[in-house]
């Protein structure tokens, strides 16, 4: 009886998903779960990602239980170090990952079409609630917007005709935000010290939801470079999609051109069944 009540209260997709997990993945991972339970976790990577349901870090990196220590927040932001006695969820995750788990890498993972970034870009719009929690949270982006220069702000329009400008601005801000998050990470004394001793490395990456392309921020020039998969492909979906998405091509135009690469939109390489993306 108790079992019937519990399952009837569960959202259907969670119930069916859990049952599939028990039937398919748990048998494979059971020994690993048992070992993790006995020995505790020791992930090497802290990943700071967005709450967006389309950007699950464990799926993108094909991670197993225990591999990634993940904190997700709206727009994958890292606020600067501020020991003011208030409650800081991302700061708590950072502190635990660095000081207790002693992770060796921190990765900030941004993504294309981020609603949180868009909320900042359209910050003249009405708050979602009187508390305006989203608005206050994404104000962390202000230094990144300033780094982009005032001309970036001038591009932002709020009427329908200016929608494309807002999208372009938001896409640029997604990248500027990653650079700012790396700066903010270094305001945490423990991270700054460990990085100077070579015991921790900071990274930023960007995932394009529409293409599956992961790009890595080049620390030398601050630009995103697409990561090739095992077969050397950069856009695993391009041969299947037929035509490219112009907004995605636009977002990668600078980095692809600078590296002498073809735009993903024009990619005609063959579908590779061994691609990491295609296996996922
Ligand atoms: Zn997002």
CA of 210 to the centre of ligand 1 (A): 14
Asked if residue 33 belongs to a domain, the reply is no
Indicate the pTM of the whole model.
0.80
Residue 74: pLDDT over 90? yes
Which of 62-66, 108-112, 165-169, 174-178 has the lowest average pLDDT?
165-169
116 C-alpha to ligand 1 centroid (Å) = 5
Tally of domains within the chain: 1
- HSE (CB half, 13 Å, CA atoms) of 32? 11
Domain for residue 36, yes or no?
no
Residue 23 CA to ligand 1 centre (angstroms): 32
For residue 185 the two structure tokens come to 């990470």
Rounded Cα–Cα distance for residues 200 and 59 (Å):
24
pLDDT digits (tens, 9 = 90+) for 14-61: 999 999 999 999 999 999 999 999 999 999 999 999 999 999 999 999
Q: Which run of H or of E encompasses 49?
A: strand 45-50
Residue 153, domain member (yes or no)? yes
| Average pLDDT of span 72-101 | 97
Q: 280, 276, 183, 178: which is closest to 225 by C-alpha?
A: 178
What is the C-alpha separation between 74 and 137, in angstroms, rounded?
8
In this structure, is residue 135 part of a structural domain? yes
At residue 164, the pLDDT reads: 65
As a whole number of angstroms, the distance between CA 181 and CA 206 comes to 13
For 217, the domain range is: 42-253+269-275
Buried b (16+ CB within 10 A) or exposed e, 237-265: bbeeeeebbebbbebbeebbeeeeeebbb
β-sheet bridge partners, residue 222: none
| Alpha carbon separation from 163 to 124, 143, 166 (Å, rounded) | 14, 23, 5
So what's the pLDDT on residue 236? 56
Q: Please tell me the distance between residue 122's alpha carbon and the centre of ligand 1 in angstroms.
A: 14
pLDDT at 167 (0 to 100): 86
From the CA of 51, how far away is ligand 1's center (Å)? 6
Per-residue pLDDT at 231 = 76
Question: Ligand 1 centroid to 253 CA: how many Å?
Answer: 21
* pLDDT given for residue 87 in this prediction: 93
The rounded Å distance from CA 7 to ligand 1 centre is 31
**C-alpha distances in Å from residue 269, one per residue of 169, 209, 238:** 30, 20, 8
Q: What is the pLDDT of residues 213-232, one digit of tens each?
A: 999 999 888 889 999 877 77
State the distance from the centre of ligand 1 to the C-alpha of 44, rounded, in angstroms.
Answer: 24
Residue 179 covered by a domain: yes
Q: Is 278 exposed, middle or buried (0-12, 13-18, 19+ CB in 10 A)?
A: middle
Residue 162 token pair: 């200016």
pLDDT digits 0-9 by tens, 234-269:
665 555 444 333 333 333 333 333 332 222 333 322
Tell me which residue of 148, 123, 150 sits closest to 134, measured CA to CA. 123
119 Cα–ligand 1 center, Å: 10
Q: State the distance from the centre of ligand 1 to the C-alpha of 117, rounded, in angstroms.
A: 7
Q: What is the pLDDT of residue 269?
A: 28
The reported pLDDT for the residue numbered 176 is 94
CATH code, 52: 3.40.1050.10
Let me know if residue 199 belongs to a domain. Answer: yes
Q: What is the pLDDT of residues 105-157, one digit of tens each?
A: 999 999 999 999 999 998 778 899 999 999 999 999 999 998 886 544 444 44
């Amino acid at each position: 009886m108790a079992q019937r009540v519990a399952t009837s209260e569960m959202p259907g997709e969670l119930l069916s998903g859990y049952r599939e997990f028990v039937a398919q993945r748990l048998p494979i991972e059971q020994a690993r779960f048992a070992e993790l339970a006995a020995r505790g976790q020791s992930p090497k990577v802290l990943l700071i990602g967005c709450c967006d349901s389309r950007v699950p870090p464990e799926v993108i990196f094909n991670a197993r239980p225990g591999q990634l220590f993940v904190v997700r927040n709206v727009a994958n932001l890292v606020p600067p170090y501020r020991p003011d006695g208030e409650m800081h969820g991302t700061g708590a995750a950072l502190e635990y990952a660095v000081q207790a788990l002693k992770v060796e890498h921190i990765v900030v993972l941004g993504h294309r079409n981020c609603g949180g970034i868009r909320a900042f870009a359209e910050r003249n719009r009405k708050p979602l609630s009187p508390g305006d929690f989203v608005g206050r949270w994404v104000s962390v982006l202000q230094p990144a917007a300033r780094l982009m220069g005032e001309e970036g702000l001038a591009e932002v329009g709020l009427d329908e005709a200016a929608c494309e400008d807002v999208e372009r601005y938001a896409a640029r801000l997604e990248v500027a935000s990653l650079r700012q998050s790396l700066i903010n990470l270094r305001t945490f004394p423990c991270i700054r010290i460990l990085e100077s001793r070579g015991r921790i490395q900071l990274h930023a990456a960007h995932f394009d939801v529409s293409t599956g392309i992961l790009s890595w921020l080049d620390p030398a020039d601050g630009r995103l470079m697409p990561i090739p998969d095992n077969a050397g492909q950069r856009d695993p979906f391009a041969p299947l999609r037929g035509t490219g998405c112009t907004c995605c091509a636009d977002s990668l135009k600078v980095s692809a051109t600078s590296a002498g690469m073809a735009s993903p939109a024009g990619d005609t390489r063959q579908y590779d069944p061994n691609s990491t993306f295609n296996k996922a």
